[in-house]
A and B are shown apart, each in its own frame.
Chain A
């Protein structure tokens, strides 16, 4: 554990809590991609199956359980509790175009051809693209509420901090995980355009982020 890793995890947690509270308090999931949230729930489910097979630390176990619970609670709010506020027409990204290649790649490029290992690899690859339906939705509607952009900012910051964590671990421990690092770099790149808009539009202005 290093400071980048810890801050990264905290940003990830903050992002998930921001989204959950936004939907819970406003009783609306307008502007939120339910598909991205289902993908994230799938990411956590397939990655954290090792909760049943190996114990790493109390921190690790607690964080995994919290992420899983919040991910499913968010999906529940979007698709069941506040379903009437869900913009299904704008959330039109075809997730099969993500799931099929990601599933195929996880069978081809993994550390061991074992069920848990393939599911872990699948979760790593899927996480790198899971935000695309949300970014697609913002591009399609041309706007996002500022609270939604704060959610995306913390999610992107979490990714950037994990990159710093890997640089740190490489230099201090000689640790290098190519699947996680390559996917992590790809994932972080998706946020770059958003970061630019966030700093130039959201933080300088107020209210919604509108696309040029």
Chain B
């Protein structure tokens, strides 16, 4: 998973 995927977290 790319680091961008963490952006779904608040």
Contact = CB atoms under 8 A, between A and B. Distances in A.
A194 to B, nearest CB: 22
Contacts, number: 30
A60 B8 contact: yes
Nearest to B8: A56
Interface string B1-10: 1010111111
Q: Decide if the interface of chain B is mainly helix, strand, loop or mixed.
A: helix
A165 B6 CA distance: 12
Contacts of A63: 10
A104 interface: no
Contacts of A111: 3
Interface stretch (A89-97, A135-143, A172-180): A172-180
A50 interface: yes
Interface of B: 1, 3, 5-10
Interface of A: 5, 9, 12, 50, 54, 56-57, 60, 63-64, 67, 111-112, 120, 162, 165, 173-177, 179-180
Contact of B7 (A50, A112, A174): A50
Where chain A touches its partner, the secondary structure class is helix
A120 B5 CA distance: 13
Contacts of A120: 7
The 7 A-B residue pairs whose C-beta atoms are closest, nearest first, are A111-B3, A177-B6, A56-B8, A175-B1, A180-B6, A63-B10, A9-B10
B3 A177 contact: yes
A189 B6 CA distance: 21
B9 to A, nearest CB: 7
Contacts of B8: 56-57, 60
7 contacts: A5-B9, A54-B7, A56-B7, A176-B1, A177-B6, A179-B3, A180-B6
B8 to A, nearest CB: 5
A100 B8 CA distance: 27
